[in-house]
């Protein structure tokens, strides 16, 4: 062990962290930072999915220009600056091959704000459709948002329901109650890095239309399925999406990972043209407006949360989207480093007795990217989290993501070249210690 159980317990007590088995990402970050600072021993930081690559320079330069122009003295429009809305619409066409009117491309302060607002709108539009269905495992923060809002949810682990037929049967079971207002998943998936294929997305879209549920498709890791040649503007293959199979969708596009722009807190909530224009009497009554879904979400919900997004950042995002469409920015190549890290990290872990928890995408192996999942024989999710901390490796329990499988989520973003040998040494010791038990 690198850190004794007593040292870990002291860190948890000092930081008021209850049980590491159910700790939040933020709690795990604090514990790792505390132990690093106190001992000077570096952690292998697999906890928080914060980009470690340089922020995109084109966005930064556009922001500086915007600041110098003086626009910071004025409030930005509730629906976003026209330049960003137009660029977003073009970007969606270029890389997903879907047409969305610029009016429906609304900037938000990160995808977290987009989902917060969308959860409200999707569960208030039709009386009785007031719950959210999670296709898990998923992003723990989204359930925390529902706790704040007092919105109920259902969930299922997709591991045993892969493929169109199995997924259709499970979704029919969950949706037939009639109380689901929204369906949520990320693609590629956080934490498992699985990717729903076109046949599965067709099932989701078809049933969303049948049961009138809005699909909230989180594309935070856009074009990061590095197994396929995605990311060439206006050329196939295009990013798989539920938007080909239903008009009931909201796409959430973030600048955090693909442009390493996390600190600027900028994303897009892209609403289908049909859903944007749809009128709901229940929303009109609640908000005393026309009850038009897109307008209500924009002006009566999202604006109440953040009062819009920083104007200068919107211009930076617009520039990056435009240059990506023009082929000047190759954001897929810029972030391919995460795939290389995942491959190398998985190899070390698996050589020392670990297995990849979510290892298959229907008929092909899960790719290498921003996240992956790990299990160790005989250890539950909570036990593995705690054991790894003692060996100077921080992660989060899969139990916090809605997974029914034992394991942890590992993030590649903070891995450094000088830490691979450290990881190798620690996992070698981990294997020795646990084989002796």
3-state secondary structure 287-325: HCCCCEHHHHHHHHHHHHHHCCCCHHHHHHHHHHHHHHH
Average pLDDT score over residue span 350-376: 96
* Share of residues in the chain with pLDDT > 90 (%): 96
Residue 437's pLDDT is what? 59
Query: Of 293, 325, 357, which residue constitutes the final position of a domain?
Result: 325
Same-domain check for residues 187 and 250: yes
pTM of the entire predicted model: 0.95
Residue 1's pLDDT is what? 85
Domain limits at 36? 5-53+336-435
Same-domain check for residues 260 and 119: yes
Assign 141 a pLDDT band (cuts: 50, 70, 90): very high
> Does the pLDDT at position 321 exceed 80?
yes
The whole-angstrom distance between residue 226's C-alpha and the CA centroid of its chain comes to 16
pLDDT digits 0-9 by tens, 100-123: 999 999 999 999 999 999 999 999
Assign 380 a pLDDT band (cuts: 50, 70, 90): very high
| C-alpha separations of 305 from 78, 260, 284, 299, 301 in Å | 11, 24, 19, 10, 7
Query: Of 325, 355, 375, which residue constitutes the final position of a domain?
Result: 325
- Six-digit token pair at 331? 């954001």
pLDDT digits 0-9 by tens, 76-102: 999 999 999 999 999 999 999 999 999
Q: What average pLDDT is seen over the chain? A: 96
Q: Which of 220, 252, 260 is nearest to 371 (CA)?
A: 220
> Does the pLDDT at position 309 exceed 70?
yes
Average pLDDT score over residue span 22-51: 93
> Does the pLDDT at position 205 exceed 90?
yes
Q: What DSSP letter does each residue of 6-27 carry, written as one string?
A: HHHHHHHHHHT---GGG--HHH
Residue with tokens 């109380």: 179
Assign 52 a pLDDT band (cuts: 50, 70, 90): confident
Same-domain check for residues 238 and 343: no
- Sort 374 into a burial class: Cβ within 10 Å, 0-12 / 13-18 / 19+: buried
Same-domain check for residues 159 and 44: no
Same-domain check for residues 45 and 130: no
CATH number at residue 20: 3.90.1150.100
Report how far residue 201's alpha carbon sits from residue 66's, in angstroms, rounded to the nearest whole number. 39
> Does the pLDDT at position 280 exceed 80?
yes
> Does the pLDDT at position 339 exceed 80?
yes
Q: Which of 376, 397, 173 is nearest to 155 (CA)?
A: 173
Same-domain check for residues 39 and 64: no
Report how far residue 358's alpha carbon sits from residue 3's, in angstroms, rounded to the nearest whole number. 29
Same-domain check for residues 94 and 228: yes
In a domain, 331, yes or no: no
In a domain, 330, yes or no: no
3-class SS at 62? helix
Residue with tokens 């003295």: 73
Asked whether the CA dihedral 370, 22, 251, 189 is positive or negative, the reply is positive
pLDDT digits 0-9 by tens, 206-246: 999 999 999 999 999 999 999 999 999 999 999 999 999 99
Give helix 57-69 / helix 311-325 axis angle, nearest 10°: 140
- Six-digit token pair at 201? 């997305």
CATH number at residue 113: 3.40.640.10
Same-domain check for residues 69 and 105: yes
Same-domain check for residues 312 and 395: no
Residue 38's pLDDT is what? 92
Q: Which residues contact 367 (CB under 8 A, 6 or more apart)?
A: 188, 193, 195, 225, 226, 227, 339, 361
Give ∠ CA 38-43-45 in degrees, rounded to 5: 130
Residue 18's pLDDT is what? 86
Q: Which residues contact 384 (CB under 8 A, 6 or more apart)?
A: 374, 375, 376, 395, 397, 406, 407, 408
* Share of residues in the chain with pLDDT > 70 (%): 100
Query: Of 278, 300, 325, which residue constitutes the final position of a domain?
Result: 325
């Amino acid at each position: 062990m690198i850190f004794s159980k007593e040292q870990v317990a002291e860190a948890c007590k000092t930081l008021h962290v209850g049980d590491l088995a159910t700790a939040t990402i933020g709690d795990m970050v604090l514990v790792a930072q505390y132990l690093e600072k106190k001992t000077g021993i570096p952690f292998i930081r697999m906890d928080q999915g914060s980009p470690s690559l340089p922020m995109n320079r084109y966005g930064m330069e556009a922001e500086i220009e915007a600041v110098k122009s003086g626009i910071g003295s004025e409030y930005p429009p509730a629906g976003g600056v026209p330049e960003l809305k137009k660029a977003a619409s073009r970007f969606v066409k270029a890389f997903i091959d879907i047409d969305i009117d610029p009016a429906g491309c609304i900037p938000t302060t990160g995808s977290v704000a987009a989902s917060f607002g969308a959860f409200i709108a999707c569960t208030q539009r039709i009386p009785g459709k007031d719950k959210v269905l999670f296709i898990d495992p998923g992003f723990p923060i989204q359930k925390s948002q529902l706790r704040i809002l007092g919105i109920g949810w259902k969930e299922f682990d997709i591991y045993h329901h892969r493929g169109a037929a199995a997924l259709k049967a499970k979704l029919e079971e969950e949706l037939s109650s009639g109380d689901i207002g929204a369906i949520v998943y990320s693609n590629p998936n956080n934490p498992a890095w699985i990717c729903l294929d076109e046949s599965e997305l067709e099932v989701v879209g078809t049933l969303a239309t049948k049961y009138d549920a809005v699909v909230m498709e989180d594309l935070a890791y856009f074009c990061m399925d590095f197994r396929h040649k995605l990311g060439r503007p206006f050329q196939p293959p295009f990013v798989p999406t539920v938007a080909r199979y239903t008009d009931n969708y909201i796409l959430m596009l973030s600048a955090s990972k693909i442009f390493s722009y996390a600190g600027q807190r900028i994303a897009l909530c892209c609403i289908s043209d049909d859903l944007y224009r749809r009128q709901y009497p229940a929303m009109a009554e609640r908000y005393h407006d026309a009850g038009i879904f897109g307008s209500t979400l924009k002006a009566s919900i999202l604006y109440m949360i953040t009062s819009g997004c920083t104007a200068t950042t919107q211009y930076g995002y617009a520039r990056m989207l435009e240059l990506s469409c023009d082929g000047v920015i190759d954001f897929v190549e810029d972030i391919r480093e995460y795939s290389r890290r995942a491959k190398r990290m998985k190899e070390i872990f698996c050589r020392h007795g670990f297995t990849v928890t979510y290892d298959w995408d229907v008929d092909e192996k899960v790719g290498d990217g921003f996240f992956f999942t790990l299990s160790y024989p005989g250890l539950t999710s909570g036990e593995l989290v705690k054991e790894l901390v003692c060996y100077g490796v921080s992660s989060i329990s899969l139990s916090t993501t809605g997974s029914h499988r034992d394991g942890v989520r590992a993030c590649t973003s903070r891995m450094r070249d000088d830490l691979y040998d450290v990881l190798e040494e620690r996992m070698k010791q981990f294997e020795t210690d646990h084989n002796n038990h």
